[in-house]
Amino acid sequence: MDKKLEPIVKSVQDKFSATFEEFRDEVHLFLKPEQIVDALTLLRDEFNFELLSALTAVDYYPQETPRFHVVYQLTSIAKNRSVQIRVPVNGSSPKIPTATHVYDVANWRERELLDMFGIEFDGHPDPRRILSPEDMEGHPLRKDFPLGYEEPQFTFNFDEIDLRKPYAKE
Amino acid sequence: MSQIEEVSLDKFKHLVSERALTGETMLLNMGPQHPSTHGVLRLLLELDGEIIVNCIPDIGYLHTGIEKNMEAKTYQKAEVMTDRLDYMNPIGNNLAYVMAVEKLVDLDVPARAQGLRVILTELQRISSHLVWLGTSGLDLAAMSMFLYCFREREQILDIFELVSGQRMMTTYFRPGGVWRDVPVEFEKAVRDFIKIFPKRVDQYETLLTKNPFLLDRTLGIGKLDVATALSFGVTGPPLRASGIDWDLRKARPYSGYEQYDFNVPTRTEGDTYARYLVRVQEMRESLKIVEQALNKLPLGPVRSGNRKFVTPPRSEIGVSMESLIHHFKLWTEGFSAPKASIYSAVESPRGELGLLLEGDGGPKPYRVHLRTPSFDNLAVLSQIVKGHLVADLVAILSSIDIVLGDIDR
């Protein structure tokens, strides 16, 4: 591990009994959902992580416990270093506290996760969908959401597929 | 299916002031079809006369599901989606993507390919800033700026056409190098551009920098302070105009940026005029990088020799069985990446363009997240327009330089 990251990882480990993984010099810290706000506040105030560079999620369907990882990518401009926090969330009614009062950028990013993954953020000031229309059903970036494509028709099954195509019939 | 639904104010109650509920202030839609929103963006404005009380951006009109689509394609094929992301910066997006893939599978890139990548990315940065300068000139009623800027941009697009066959969606960078070596005319074309461009920037500055109309419209307008900028995750020229010297090319050099001598222009005012000055200065710095990279450009291969990831050249396929097998395997199945996740970021003309790329051991990415700079830069808009006139909103929006394809993905 990068020497500069060692005190940060150690501090988070001691405080939140977090585990960590390493790959290509990147450090991923694993935390529980209820610890995330305290951990972000600690990293921002004590270790100069001013920037929440990315806030996203990964879906590990069909695995259910945990189904999602919510990913926080933090950047410190003053010290020029990065660390990633991952919060595993279960598949049934996924919920995690909001980080909007730590980083304002979390507001839109959390709305995006609500929209794309159906992960709810407890205490979010403006929980609306952000990219897809309000009346849309489902969450597109979940792995069980179909990508959608047109079935190729061949001579032998032309009529069969034609029947279930959505365009207007005479 | 398409019933017209009446939208009640209840939905936005928590976003507008109480005066809107009594009808004292007016709610007005700006967009989604509006010339100065630079794409399909809707801004719901709460107005007190002509003064903005609240601004609620509504995005998603250009959402195309690029992240989802990339999960269904092999690593090589997913690259074409990145061109369509921020369509003012396709080459920069390609660079972000190929660098992420190279980091995930640990692939080397020859020095010549890295040099070419730097030259083309910096030319792309200039062309992106030219479009910004031209269109924000249009927004401030300086029509001629648009014509001048597009004249120079055309010259850059011609260079892209020369190397890749395409003016915009080039997909010229590939994991492990670039598509093929540049033609012999390339050096002259770039040298011609280097020769004329400084004079052209001087021309723009003569027209604008001390222009009293521009100063009236931009000085002290849309001030963004450092704390707000950082909390909202603003990166790129808006952050540098607020006084933070943060440029990934300097802070975390990639693709050989450490060899080149250039400055990162910063201002402290944080207003629309400061953002203008930073970008104009950035064009000059980018040109310095292009010139140095062209002078230093080494000879040699432009693609990695690692046959597990990079297809062999056509000449080898006829004489080597292994090459034929590699060619076949790479174009049918693709290459596999480890079951791991990486985050890699580059400095796009708009800020930090990051990619969270996760592999699952197979030939397709398991998850691609694109951390696009315009998304976060637009979020701060509602904070900095409060108390300004509607006409100033146009100036502020263009000074943030958003691209809707970059926001909605």
Q: Which pLDDT score is estimated for A160?
A: 86
Q: Which pLDDT score is estimated for B39?
A: 78
Q: Which pLDDT score is estimated for B391?
A: 87
* CA distances from residue B260 to A122, B7, B179, B296 in whole angstroms, order as listed: 47, 55, 24, 9
Q: Which pLDDT score is estimated for B5?
A: 64
Residue with tokens 């390493």: A22
At A32, list the tokens: 């529980």
pLDDT in tens, chain A (170 residues): 777 788 887 887 888 877 888 888 888 888 888 888 988 998 888 888 989 999 999 999 888 888 899 999 999 998 888 899 999 998 888 889 999 989 999 999 999 999 999 999 988 888 888 888 888 888 888 888 888 777 788 888 888 888 877 766 55
Nearest to B240 by CA among B198, B276, B204, B270: B270
Residues of B with CB under 8 A from a CB of A: 11, 14-15, 59-60, 63, 65, 67-69, 71-72, 103-104, 106, 228, 230-233, 235, 244, 246, 251-252, 340-343, 345, 352, 354, 356, 358, 366-367, 369, 371, 375-376, 379, 408-409
Q: Cβ of A131 and B63 within 8 Å?
A: yes
Give the angle B142-B147-B151 at the CA atoms, nearest 5°: 145
Q: Which pLDDT score is estimated for B207?
A: 87
* pLDDT mean by block of 10 residues, chain B; 409 residues: 65 79 84 77 89 89 89 90 89 92 91 92 93 88 87 92 90 90 91 93 89 87 90 91 90 90 90 92 92 91 88 88 91 89 91 91 91 91 90 89 87
What are the beta bridge partners of residue A84? A28, A73
Nearest CB among A77, A129, A140 relative to B246 is that of A77
Q: Which pLDDT score is estimated for B369?
A: 92
Residue B317, class by beta-carbon neighbours within 10 Å (0-12 exposed, 13-18 middle, 19+ buried)? middle
Judge whether B121 and B127 are in contact, CB under 8 Å: no
Q: What are phi and psi of B355, to 5 degrees?
A: -130, 125
Judge whether B45 and B144 are in contact, CB under 8 Å: no
Q: What ipTM does this complex have?
A: 0.86
**Which residues of chain A does B69 touch, with a Cβ-Cβ cutoff of 8 Å?**
147
Q: Cα separation of B193 and B298, whole Å?
A: 20
Q: Which pLDDT score is estimated for B160?
A: 92
Q: Which pLDDT score is estimated for B173?
A: 92
Beta-carbon contacts of residue A149 (< 8 Å; ≥ 6 apart): none
Q: Cα separation of B289 and B262, whole Å?
A: 7
Q: Which pLDDT score is estimated for B156?
A: 93
**Which residues of chain A does B341 touch, with a Cβ-Cβ cutoff of 8 Å?**
23, 28, 58
At A24, list the tokens: 């290509």
* Torsion angle of C-alpha atoms B344, B370, B85, B235, degrees rounded to 10: -70
Q: What is the pTM of this model?
A: 0.89
Arithmetic mean of pLDDT over chain A: 86
At A57, list the tokens: 């999620």
